[in-house]
Chains A and B, each alone.
Chain A
Amino acid sequence: MRLLNIAFSNLRVRKIKIFFLLLGIILGVAIIVSLTGITLAMQEQLESKFEDIGMRVLVTPKSNSLFLSYHGISVHSGNYARKTIPEKIAHNIKQFGGQNVTAISPKLVQNAEIKSKKMLIAGISREELNLKPYWRINGKFPNRKQILLGASTAQRLKLSVEDKVPIKGEIFTVSGILNETGTVEDELVFINLAEAQRVFNRNKQVTFIELSVNDKEAISALRSKFTSVAITEVKGENEERQEIVNRFAKFAVLISICVLLIGFLIISTTMMSSVKERTREIGIFRALGFKRKHIVKIILFEAVVVSTVGGVVGYIGGILLVKLISPYITQFEVQLHWSPELGLATVIMSILVGLLASAYPAYQAARLDPIEAIRFI
Chain B
Amino acid sequence: MALIEVKNVTKFYNSGEGQVTALGGVNLTVQKGEFLALMGDSGSGKSTLLSVIGALNPPTGGKVLIDDIDVYDLSSERRADFRSSYIGFVFQQFQLIQYLTVVENVMVPLAILNYNHKEQLEMAKKVLKKVGLENKMRRLPNQLSGGEQERVAIARAIVNEPPIILADEPTGSLDSKTGEGIMRLFQSLNREGLTIVMVTHNRENLKFVKRTVSMKDGLIKNQEN
Contacts and interface: CB of A to CB of B under 8 A. Distances in A.
Interface of A: 1-3, 5-6, 9-10, 12-13, 280-281, 284-294, 370-371, 374, 376-377
Interface stretch (B28-36, B82-90, B209-217): B82-90
Nearest to B120: A1
Given A2-B111, A374-B95, 11 more contacts: A6-B97, A6-B100, A9-B100, A13-B98, A284-B91, A284-B97, A287-B89, A290-B84, A376-B51, A377-B91, A377-B169
Nearest to A290: B112
Contact of B83 (A9, A289, A294, A377): A289
Interface string B116-151: 010010000000000000000000000000000000
Contact of B91 (A13, A286, A374): A374
Contacts of B109: 288-289
Contact of B111 (A5, A280, A293, A370): A5
B202 interface: no
B108 interface: yes
Contact of B56 (A9, A294, A370, A377): A370
B24 to A, nearest CB: 18
A281 B112 contact: no
B80 interface: yes
A5 B111 CA distance: 9
B27 interface: no
B168 interface: yes
Given A1-B108, A288-B108, A376 B91 contact: yes
B218 interface: no
A371 B93 CA distance: 14
B47 A377 contact: yes
B77 A292 contact: yes
B66 interface: no
Contacts of B97: 6, 281, 284
B185 to A, nearest CB: 19
Nearest to A11: B99
B60 interface: no
B56 A3 contact: no
Interface in B65-109: 76-77, 80-81, 83-85, 87, 89, 91-93, 95, 97-100, 104, 107-109
Lowest 3 A-B CB distances belong to which pairs? A289-B84, A376-B47, A1-B107
A280 B91 CA distance: 12
B110 A376 contact: no
A10 B104 CA distance: 12
A296 to B, nearest CB: 11
A3 B83 CA distance: 18
Contacts of A10: 99
Contact of A288 (B50, B84, B93, B168): B84
B93 A377 contact: yes
B156 interface: yes
B117 to A, nearest CB: 7
Nearest to A375: B47
B54 interface: yes
Nearest to B97: A281
Contact of A289 (B51, B81, B117): B81
Nearest to A298: B111
B57 interface: yes
Given A12-B99, A376-B51, A6 B77 contact: no
Contacts of A293: 77
A286 B97 CA distance: 13
Nearest to B110: A1
A376 B50 contact: yes
B104 to A, nearest CB: 6
Nearest to A3: B111
